[in-house]
Structure 1
């Protein structure tokens, strides 16, 4: 198990932020966890430590949001996300984490700025199979490398203006499916070592605590502020990822 105190000073808040985000805001802010841990350890090891913890968070999230899902959207997104995961595994040795950060950061920034600088009373968009497949594939691809699937998924889901419980439940089911799917290629690529798994186990106690905190926050925010918070997270994610990539 990793014993460096500085690692845990970074990893503990990273895991809590991810869990709170998953519990109430669709998991989007959770993509900062790997970049935070990468300040101390290699990004690939950080992603491997985070994946089992994400799976545990997803189980808690499903328990809390059971029944609040949009099945038609999941049928659009999940098959495409599977293709994205396969592409991520095949290109694992060729694309750096910074390449993925630039892609995801740029998307996040554009969609957040579009929300804040356009009139807020514009109508919600309707689901589109082609767009859903493209965003789902991109979410699966970026999720594989640094667990950054939240930004592409939010770029598609947020303009639909789903009821917040339905939005949260749909994203939880989506990420539960792709995170458990990622366990297979991560294992095949040798990402899980004894050190990685024992460190994940040590941090796992924070997962249910953070998710329940996120659920409590979620229930206390109305729909207008919910979407403002989500797009604010999207803006921060974009800035953070681009900063990390170019520095």
Structure 2
């Protein structure tokens, strides 16, 4: 597919800005919406290959704003689980066809929206006490797997970290650190498996300024914009795009 097409660029620019805002300002939970949106106009593998370097750029640009504000014990347990989770994701990806990946990305998006709505309506509640190491390792494994196959590790991290009762900035800083490390680790697998290409990397160069813009806006929005406003838009986008991807995969 020709990536340097105006239709694809028109979809990619807001998607990349959105990823920057989400990762830099609101805990990475919904940043995978960008890959979900891109998968509507290109092969899922291309969407994943394009987004990973941009997500890594956003991670690197976000780190200085949250330096040493993270919870290292919580980050460490997620990272230990993330290593085998990433390897499992790589093994699954090697054997899956594009429609399977498309369906999985869509299903994760729908499940994420359902979980968030159930939590906000009171149907689901997090534990009243902090989660233990075993729960953190399990969340890390899910984080690594879903991050590899759809850049959707945010929900698993959110379930664990929200249960730790961290304040907003500590929570945000911890997600920035965790996903910086996980994305760096899985980039080696992406390169070895050919998910990157010269064409996707060239497209990343075009999108890089928009990733930086989104990061800047996200850091500002972290202090100024109510989370409810941001996530209401996010849930709508994920529900629509997730449904479309599942429909495409099945038909």
Please report the TM-score for the alignment, with normalisation by the length of structure 1: 0.88
Q: Which structure 2 residues correspond to residues 55-94 of structure 1 after superposition, within 5 A?
A: 55-94=56-95
Q: How far apart, in 2, do the equivalents of 1:104 and 1:9 lie?
A: 25
Change (3 A) 1:201 1:109: same
CA distance in 1, matches of 2:237, 2:179: 18
Distance 1:44 1:16 in 2: 20
Displacement of 1:208 in angstroms is: 1.7
Is the contact between residue 104 and residue 148 of structure 1 (CA under 8 Å) also seen in structure 2?
yes
2:88 and 2:133 mapped to 1: Cα distance?
20
User: Whole-Å Cα distance in 2 between the matches of residues 86 and 107 of structure 1?
Assistant: 23
* 1:246 maps onto 2:250 in alignment: no
Aligned-CA RMSD value: 2.5
Unaligned 5+ segments in structure 1 are: none
Higher mean C-alpha deviation, range 100-109 or range 72-81: 100-109
2:165, 2:230 → 1: CA distance?
11
| TM-aligned CA deviation for residue 232 of structure 1 | 4.5
2:14: which partner in 1? 13
Inter-CA distance 166–39: structure 2 relative to 1 (3 Å threshold): same
Distance 1:4 1:104, change over 3 A: same
CA distance in 2, matches of 1:111, 1:61: 27
Superposition pairs of residues 23-38 of structure 1, within 5 angstroms? 23-38=24-39
Residue 183 of structure 2 is matched in structure 1 by 179
Name the structure 2 match of 1:52.
53
Which whole-Å deviations, capped at 9, do the CAs of 1:42-78 have from their partners, x for residues lacking one? 1101110111111110001101111210111011100
Q: TM-score, normalised by structure 2?
A: 0.87
For residue 215 of structure 1, what is the aligned residue in structure 2?
Answer: 219
Correspondence for 2:146 among 142, 146, 151: 142
